[in-house]
Amino acid sequence: MIQPYRAFIVQARAPTFSIRQPQSYQVGVSFPLPQPSTLTCALAYAAGLTGVGQSDLQGDEYVKELAESVLRLLVRATVKPVAPLTNSSVTLSRVRALEEDSSEKVVEAIRRGRKITDAMVREYYSGRLTIIYVFRSVSGIDKVYSWLYLLGRLGDTESLISVERVEEATIEHLGSEEYVDTYTPVEWVESYGEGFFSLIRMCREELCAKPVRSRDDYERCMSVYIVPMTEEWVKGSLILKGAKVRIRTKRGYTIWGIKGISGEARIVLPGG
């Protein structure tokens, strides 16, 4: 039987990562795990480094075409922690020089004693992640190996990651009711409840191809996800650990087992 999907596992070390929740303002509260759109944008950026995309396009048009070319191959992007995640707050000092029209105006502002810096508090997480990308089983899909090795950032400009291993995983159909250990859209699920989880609104993969200029731009691409995770306080610090939750999928969605040498996961996919 020919499998309709091909799955890849990326093991990555993330010393600090922050994916800001869009509803937050002064304090940049982060999602505990990279959301689907973050994983997809990182993949599209890596694909661009290999030359994917139309060179005759520029700006938003180039980004949109590049992202859509990746989305045509991608079925799902998800992630789970390999080890406990820790979080902390960082105060960032920013130079607001880009708000001026030229470097001369920046110098003039400094001479006049105008303050061109400000600060904000942002939440960061730290840990090791198992990232799972599932693609349609089509010809030419082997090129994603080079994309995955080029993943370099998950989140803001400070959220650099180190890819430790990339491998293609085996994929096995498990049925419509099982424990899963990766996040799943609530709208795909008929029932859930046994296990440890949080409900978090996150942006879906398709946001990668949409320029965000207003709140409505990302709100249309947000869904509530079941995120298997537990919290534990250790010596005054909050530790987040991966967990499992038992779910029953709606018609049109099934649970699959993803297994590689470096890790394994259970994930809900469309179809079946």
Q: What is the 3-state secondary structure (H, E, C) of 18-34?
A: CCECCCCCCEECECCCC
Range of the domain at 56: 5-270
Note the pLDDT of residue 269.
96
Note the pLDDT of residue 2.
64
Domain with residue 152: its CATH number is 3.30.70.3120
Note the pLDDT of residue 137.
82
Number of domains in the chain: 1
- CB–CB of 58/194 below 8 Å? no
Note the pLDDT of residue 20.
87
Total Cβ atoms within 10 A of residue 22: 17
Cα gap 45→182, rounded to integer Å: 23
Q: pLDDT tens for the chain, 272 residues: list them.
A: 567 899 999 999 999 999 988 877 767 789 999 999 999 999 999 999 988 877 777 888 888 899 999 999 999 999 999 989 998 877 666 665 555 555 676 667 667 766 656 556 788 899 999 999 999 987 777 889 999 999 999 988 889 999 999 999 999 999 999 999 999 999 999 999 899 999 999 999 999 988 877 888 888 899 999 999 999 888 878 899 999 999 999 999 999 999 999 889 999 999 86
The pTM of this model reads 0.88
Phi, psi of 131 (to 5 degrees): -100, 130
Q: From start to end of 58-145, where are the E strands?
A: 74-81, 85-95, 117-136
DSSP states of 143-174:
GHHHHHHT--BSSSTT-B-EEEEEEEEEEEEE
